Amino acid sequence: MTIWIIEGLLAAMFLMAGLGKTFGSSMHVESFRRWRLPQWFRVVTGLVELAGAALLIIGFWKSGFAIAGALLLAVTALGGILTHLRVKDGIKETSTIVILGILAGVLLFLLY
């Protein structure tokens, strides 16, 4: 039951973030500018997040997909954390991706 809650929460959060990045919400466009990353990378990041969320959703029925999704999102979160650290973002800007990364790691541990 705990696994399903974590899986659902991560899928929902990365689905929202992935859609925002892929379709160019002003917040994400500005963030990638501030981080000095190209806008094409914002779209790629959004698609990776959407793929990870989709794998988690499929994982409700086939656990192997959830493992792949958790791994993909944990690595993506690590990249996000490193980006925030590189530009010296504060706790407020960095905390969400840190929490999501920890949850993805915990989910991966529980599934594997």
Each residue's pLDDT tens digit in the chain (112 positions)?
Answer: 889 999 999 999 999 999 999 999 999 999 999 999 999 999 999 999 999 999 999 999 998 999 999 999 999 999 999 999 999 999 999 999 999 999 999 999 999 8
* Beta-carbon count within 10 A of 105 CB: 16
Rounded Cα distance, 108 and 37, in Å: 28
Determine the angle formed by the axes of helices 2-23 and 26-34, rounding to 10 degrees: 80
Task: Tell me the whole-structure pTM to 2 decimals.
Answer: 0.94
Q: What Å distances lie between residue 77 and 1, 61, 62, 93, 99, CA to CA?
A: 24, 24, 23, 13, 9
Instruction: Give the domain ranges of the chain.
Output: 2-111
Q: What Rg, from alpha-carbon coordinates, does the chain have?
A: 14
